[in-house]
Structure 1
Amino acid sequence: MTETPDYQFAHHTLDRFVYGDLRQAAVINVGRYFNTDLYPGGRFERLDGGGDRPEVQHQFTASDLTAVRCLGTDIKPVSAIALLETHAGRLSALLRRIPHMPLYEAPLSEINASSSAGTLASMLLSDDFPHLGRMTATKLLARKRPHLLPVYDIVVGRVLGKPQNITHCLHSWFHSDPERAKSLASMRDEIPGVADISLLRVLDAAIWTHGYEDTVEAAS
């Protein structure tokens, strides 16, 4: 698989975190993100045992909504009710068809628009879930399948040049060079206390903390 031109800037930036000049800072920042109380988002994947644990892996729960709040996003009551009650059966049916596998091993067919993950993402953006929005949808999906589906927000988008589809962007990044997943795993191994965190979230935390610190510095 070749790198899509639209994602060349994003891929180059991702390489900087994993191989290049931003790697050492990423190791420090990710450790601080997950191992201190400075960032509520550090609890997103772990809160209440995780959103992908066996007893809740096929349904959205109140804990998932709270986890999304840890990333700075509030879900309005009308959408919360739709997630937890009104459309819970339809959502659960789709979640059952989304595999638990890392993005760097997943075929494109598991994340494209016609896949169960793509169908669920489109459903969350429908009128059945008012005011939810694309970024909130990615957070909900990442909570349920943290190894396959990435978080996306404004800060990450700004750092990566606003890729059109973050999941496809990362999929093509991983699959165009298998060494990238190995190097990212090696980076995670350098960080104490994050062995249970998915590679996608380690990468997301590295990108987000870098972008957030730049924002804070610019504002000061």
Structure 2
Amino acid sequence: MSETSPDYQFAHHTLDRFVYGDLRQAAIVNVGRYFNTDLYTGARFERLDGGGDRADVAHQFTAADLTAVRCLGTDIKPVSAIAILETHANRLSALLRRIPHTPIYEAPKSEIDPASAAGTLASMLLSDDFPHLGRMTATKLLARKRPHLLPCYDIVVARVLGKPRDITHCLHSWFHTDPERAKSLASIRDDIGGISDISLLRVLDAAVWMHGYEDTVETVA
């Protein structure tokens, strides 16, 4: 897929509003509220139990990873939890060992393509070996293990961004077509303070999610 695919034009324009445009200040306020208060359990997703990418657990899924996904409001059914933690643990770990920790804005596209270890692992998690898991839950599991390379995705973010068909490729092309985007996003993280341990991908995810969530709350109200 071309880096300038029209499928992603709306998403890229919307993301630019958060880092350059009219939604930047709201993003600073909202992301700060998300991570620096006790209002959102999702704030613990990367940090729970020291993080899913720390050296001693980076190449295996753990019970803490499944709990971290629950912090984002997503439950993993017991049959899939057993498959992840026990039945297919060795197969999953073998692929995790091949996935780098490179930030998405530095990684070549080959690291996220379908034939890559990340792409293969994503496909595996969507197979019949992991019943009822679902694409968005799979992205959260992968984001827990490689938070700098692989993004979370859920229905709120999908709605705000116009439902890009592949969120990882969408964000990879967004970062790589303008290196200043990563720098601007990093400056948002610096302006917020207290979240230097949070990946830029997760900062962006929280900004988009909070915007979409607040709109949903206001609409319902």
Shift of the 122–196 alpha-carbon distance from structure 1 to 2, 3 Å rule, reads same
Structure 1 residue runs of 4 or more that deviate by more than 2 Å after TM superposition: none
For 2:39 and 2:159, the matched residues in 1 are separated by 22
Corresponding position: 1:116 with 2:109: no
**Letter in structure 2 aligned against 1:178:** P
For 2:18 and 2:24, the matched residues in 1 are separated by 5
1:196-215 Cα distance to aligned partner (Å, 9 max, x none): 10000000000000000000
**Letter in structure 1 aligned against 2:60:** Q
1:140-181 Cα distance to aligned partner (Å, 9 max, x none): 000000000000000000000000000000000000011111
**Letter in structure 1 aligned against 2:27:** A
1:2-54 Cα distance to aligned partner (Å, 9 max, x none): 42110000000000000000000000000110011111000000000000000
For 1:38 and 1:219, the matched residues in 2 are separated by 19
For 1:88 and 1:198, the matched residues in 2 are separated by 26
For 1:118 and 1:95, the matched residues in 2 are separated by 11
Q: Give secondary structure in 1 for the equivalent of 2:192.
A: coil
Unaligned runs of 5+ in 1: none
Shift of the 2–57 alpha-carbon distance from structure 1 to 2, 3 Å rule, reads closer
Corresponding position: 1:15 with 2:19: no
Which residue is 1:93 aligned to?
94
For 2:151 and 2:4, the matched residues in 1 are separated by 19
Which residue is 1:189 aligned to?
190
**Letter in structure 2 aligned against 1:174:** F
1:89-130 Cα distance to aligned partner (Å, 9 max, x none): 000000000001100000000000000000000000000000
For 2:11 and 2:192, the matched residues in 1 are separated by 24
Shift of the 2–139 alpha-carbon distance from structure 1 to 2, 3 Å rule, reads closer
For 2:30 and 2:5, the matched residues in 1 are separated by 29
1:35-76 Cα distance to aligned partner (Å, 9 max, x none): 111110000000000000000000000000000000000000
**Letter in structure 2 aligned against 1:157:** A
% same residue? 84
Aligned pairs for 1:154-173 within 5 A: 154-173=155-174
Which residue is 1:135 aligned to?
136
Unaligned runs of 5+ in 2: none
For 1:86 and 1:115, the matched residues in 2 are separated by 23
Corresponding position: 1:51 with 2:67: no
For 1:185 and 1:177, the matched residues in 2 are separated by 14
